[in-house]
Amino acid sequence: MPVVCYPSHTLPPAFLPDLSDASVDDQVIVPARDAAAFRLRAGQAFRIQSIGGPQVGDLNLFNARDLTERFYSGKTRALHGTHVSTGDRLWSSFPSLRPMATVIEDSLAWYGIDADGASVHDVIGTRCDPYTNRLLTGADYHHCCHSNLTRALAAEIGRDLHEAEMLVHDVLNVFMCTGFMRDSGQYFMKASPVRPGDSITFLAEIDLLGVLSACPGGDCGSEHSSDTAACFPLQVDILTLPASALNGWAPPSVSSYDRSHGA
Ligand SMILES: [Zn+2]
């Protein structure tokens, strides 16, 4: 009998604030086949919205005060499953291991898990990148999400491309519709159900630097790592919540493990 590896019922409950009186304080447009950075404070929220046409986004998140603390897609997957939706958290890397952001609204929650075993917003993919593309096709393509994230991060933090590249990490595949082939277990993608107006909204649990790439795969219904697919921009709104909406919420502490490792 299968047993859930990480039963999550002992996690502190997610805080889901009322957004009805939130105001949009800033807006960032991520151009198609490119990436853009945004910052927000703990207790603010950010909303990623589809505009123009079906489009998948690759999201990196950093602690804005310490770039070594970043989104840990593998542990997020281990705790919440292959895809995230309302109430799930995006966890940070060791030694902090704390929620960086919480999904507080998801207009695609209705999609659930389809007949192919696919769902949306996955933490199973990596990010499309020029190294794997060269490995598999022998060709070079410079607008993979990995490169888009690298360029946007380098510009945002004022470091060179090679330094910034080492900080780019596996992503939350926003709006991407994915699963595993039943016969081979291989990662698959299919056209995202996202349409203009759809969005996913996150509460920032800590001060965040986010970088979002509008994947060259567009809706990722056919291929990525090329200029073939129809691609569209994505919009990121930074939302400020009234203090009353945050009653009962507090930023999470870093892990209390003492890091002695038994030595
Ligand atoms: Zn991509």
3-state secondary structure of 148: helix
Under DSSP, the state recorded for 155 is: H
pLDDT at 65: 98
Residue pair 19/241 in contact by the 8 Å Cβ criterion: yes
pLDDT at 208: 98
The DSSP bridge partners found for residue 141 are: none
Express each pLDDT in 175-200 by its tens digit: 999 999 999 999 999 999 999 999 99
Q: Encode the chain (263 residues) as per-residue pLDDT tens digits.
A: 888 888 888 888 899 999 999 999 999 999 999 999 999 999 999 999 999 999 999 999 999 999 999 999 999 999 999 999 999 999 999 999 999 999 999 999 999 999 999 999 999 999 999 999 999 999 999 999 999 999 999 999 999 999 999 999 999 999 999 999 999 999 999 999 999 999 999 999 999 999 999 999 998 888 777 788 899 999 999 999 999 999 999 999 999 999 999 99
3-state secondary structure of 187: strand
pLDDT at 236: 98
Phi first, then psi: give them for residue 250, nearest 5 degrees.
Answer: -145, 145
Amino acid, single-letter form, for residue 85: S
CA–centroid distance, residue 149 to ligand 1 (Å)? 10
Q: pTM to 2 decimals? A: 0.96
pLDDT at 203: 98
CA–centroid distance, residue 242 to ligand 1 (Å)? 35
Residue pair 146/127 in contact by the 8 Å Cβ criterion: yes
CA–centroid distance, residue 31 to ligand 1 (Å)? 13
Q: How far apart are CA 224 and CA 55, in angstroms?
A: 12
Q: Which two tokens stand for residue 218?
A: 């567009």
Domain-wise residue ranges, the chain: 30-198+216-242
Q: How many residues does this entry show for the chain?
A: 263
CA–centroid distance, residue 252 to ligand 1 (Å)? 30
CA–centroid distance, residue 56 to ligand 1 (Å)? 8
pLDDT at 227: 84
CA–centroid distance, residue 211 to ligand 1 (Å)? 13
Instruction: Kindly state the helix (H) or strand (E) to which residue 36 belongs, with its residue range.
Output: strand 35-40
pLDDT at 40: 98
Q: Which two tokens stand for residue 157?
A: 């933090």
Place of tokens 């404070």: 41
| Strand ranges of the sheet holding 234-240, from the earlier edge strand across to the other edge | 23-30, 234-240, 45-50, 199-204, 99-106, 89-91
Express each pLDDT in 98-143 by its tens digit: 999 999 999 999 999 999 999 999 999 999 999 999 999 999 999 9
CA–centroid distance, residue 192 to ligand 1 (Å)? 13
CA–centroid distance, residue 171 to ligand 1 (Å)? 9
